[in-house]
Amino acid sequence: MEKLDTVVVGAGVVGMAIAAKLSENQDVLLIEQNAQFGEHSSSRNSEVIHAGLYYPTDTLKAQLCVRGKALLYQHCDKYHVPYLKIGKILTAKTACEAETLHQIECQAQLNGVTDLKRVSPSHIQHYAPEIQATEALYSPSTGIIDSHQFMRSLLTKLEQSQGHYVANTQFLGAQQTQDGYIVELNCDGEPFQLHCRNLINAGGLFAQRNAMLIEDLDDSFVPELHYCRGQYFSYQGQHPFTHLVYPVPEQHGLGIHATLDLAGQLRFGPDTHFISSLNYQIDDREKNKFVHAIKQYWPALDETKLQSAYAGIRAKTTRSGTQDFTIQTSDTHGCQGLINLFGIESPGLTASLAIAEHVHSSTL
Ligand SMILES: Cc1cc2nc3c(=O)[nH]c(=O)nc-3n(C[C@H](O)[C@H](O)[C@H](O)COP(=O)(O)OP(=O)(O)OC[C@H]3O[C@@H](n4cnc5c(N)ncnc54)[C@H](O)[C@@H]3O)c2cc1C
């Protein structure tokens, strides 16, 4: 039976970042069930490099977003991945929202984000013409990235070191041995077995299902999975936006915000909608909700130029309260060499390289 150091299940941005990092000093095999990498959450998001403003102190999100942002900008420079440090304006319209902005400012400081600027009401139009707000914060270290090129660069890094990537290969299960795992795969319709010392489950929306297929893992360590769809509408036409514009965050997401891609295309979203099955269908009936939300900060919106675009699905482990990333090592579940990643929702793209560092330190 073929033997190697590590198998990483799932070629989304997180699995790819982990595989690329581990391949610096291990034999790594990265597997993907689909024909292409990154077809799920990693290609269905806002492509925003988050600054790390909101996440509560001492959470993995706070720690790994801020560290991940720094690593990501360095990586983009090194591997020529297109990005723009475009900045974002966070807006408030009421006294209650202004209080939330103040709390975000304090939380950002605690998270080590020290570059936030208060924008005086008379300057808001300078940053964001046509935007209606009474108070605003400006985050200069927020950016946008070409996430596909980022994933390509991770694959290049993996393949330049000791790593291999195979598509059309599904993880079917694993049994623990004295020194690792026997992993069962379906490679393009053919069954295949191999042995690895470390098994990393970065399956995103399938991570819970994968974990249930690992024989010696106690199911009680597998958290719930709730699909939370977020859809986007794109804006066809000229617009005044040169920075990203966000309202204050809501319970399960960051609110219907305005983002730009690297070509300057404006889009709005994502909203939040819990669904019962994995379904990326977009719903045109949501348009009224979008129009209402956008007009709160951009009253001049021409709604005839708003067209439904695409949807992504957040891997939530809870329907209530804030959720953190869950990264379980043997310290949690007792299975040596096994790492399960659950609930890697936003800011998982930003944090991916820091998640990889975190996982690397657990496999040494
Ligand atoms: C609407 C939305 C907006 C977002 N916006 C942002 C943002 O602006 N900035 C940011 O930082 N983050 C954002 N995120 C979060 C970010 O997109 C995710 O955190 C990140 O893409 C998760 O990557 P992943 O690799 O964990 O999961 P995925 O991209 O879902 O990849 C998991 C992969 O594993 C594969 N897989 C699963 N099981 C198996 C198996 N048994 N065998 C083989 N392969 C398997 C799947 O096919 C899939 O390709 C957003 C997310 C959503 C949903």
Please write the tens of the pLDDT for every residue from 340-353. Answer: 999 999 999 999 99
In the chain, where do the E strands start and end? 2-9, 28-31, 48-49, 83-84, 88-92, 117-119, 135-139, 143-145, 163-166, 169-177, 180-187, 190-201, 226-235, 244-246, 257-260, 266-269, 273-275, 306-316, 326-328, 338-342
Query: What's the average model confidence in pLDDT over 305-323?
Result: 93
pLDDT band at 249 (very low <50, low <70, confident <90, very high): confident
How buried is residue 195: exposed, middle or buried, by Cβ count under 10 Å (0-12/13-18/19+)?
A: middle
pLDDT band at 320 (very low <50, low <70, confident <90, very high): confident
Same domain, 231 and 310: yes
Same domain, 248 and 199: no
pLDDT band at 252 (very low <50, low <70, confident <90, very high): confident
Query: Is residue 82 one of the residues assigned to a domain?
Result: no
Same domain, 128 and 270: yes
Same domain, 202 and 240: no
Total count of domains within the chain: 2
Q: How far apart are CA 281 and CA 301, in angstroms?
A: 25
Same domain, 219 and 239: no
Query: Is residue 337 one of the residues assigned to a domain?
Result: yes
Q: How far apart are CA 61 and CA 67, in angstroms?
A: 10
Q: How far apart are CA 282 and CA 232, in angstroms?
A: 8
CATH of the domain at 14: 3.50.50.60
Query: Is residue 356 one of the residues assigned to a domain?
Result: yes
Same domain, 247 and 284: yes
Task: Please give the residue range of the domain that contains residue 337.
Answer: 2-46+148-224+325-362
Same domain, 133 and 170: no
Please write the tens of the pLDDT for every residue from 79-111. Answer: 999 999 999 999 999 999 999 999 999 999 999
Which of ligand 1's atoms lies nearest the C-alpha of 232?
1
Question: Which of 194, 225, 273, 346 has most ligand 1 atoms within 8 Å of its beta carbon, as the pocket-test mutant?
Answer: 346
* CA-nearest residue, atom 2 of ligand 1: 45
Same domain, 111 and 207: no
Of residues 162 and 69, the one with the higher pLDDT is: 69
Task: Name the 3-class secondary structure at 88.
Answer: strand
Query: Is residue 189 one of the residues assigned to a domain?
Result: yes
> Can you give the pLDDT at residue 314?
96
> Can you give the pLDDT at residue 255?
85
Same domain, 219 and 242: no
Q: What percent of the chain has pLDDT over 70?
A: 100
CATH of the domain at 282: 3.30.9.10
Q: What percent of the chain has pLDDT over 90?
A: 93
Query: What's the average model confidence in pLDDT over 317-336?
Result: 93
Query: Is residue 22 one of the residues assigned to a domain?
Result: yes
**Ligand 1 contact, 34 CB (< 6 A):** yes
Question: Which of 7, 13, 41, 69 has most ligand 1 atoms within 8 Å of its beta carbon, as the pocket-test mutant?
Answer: 41
Same domain, 118 and 220: no
Query: Is residue 61 one of the residues assigned to a domain?
Result: no
- Which of 281, 296, 316 is a domain's end point? 316
Same domain, 132 and 246: yes
> Can you give the pLDDT at residue 251?
73
* Cβ-contact 348, 314 below 8 angstroms: no
Count of CB atoms situated within 10 Å of the CB of 93: 15
Same domain, 255 and 220: no
pLDDT band at 321 (very low <50, low <70, confident <90, very high): confident
Which of ligand 1's atoms lies nearest the C-alpha of 39?
49
β-bridge partners, 143: 49
Residue 158 has pLDDT above 80, yes or no: yes
Query: What's the average model confidence in pLDDT over 201-207?
Result: 98
> Can you give the pLDDT at residue 40?
98
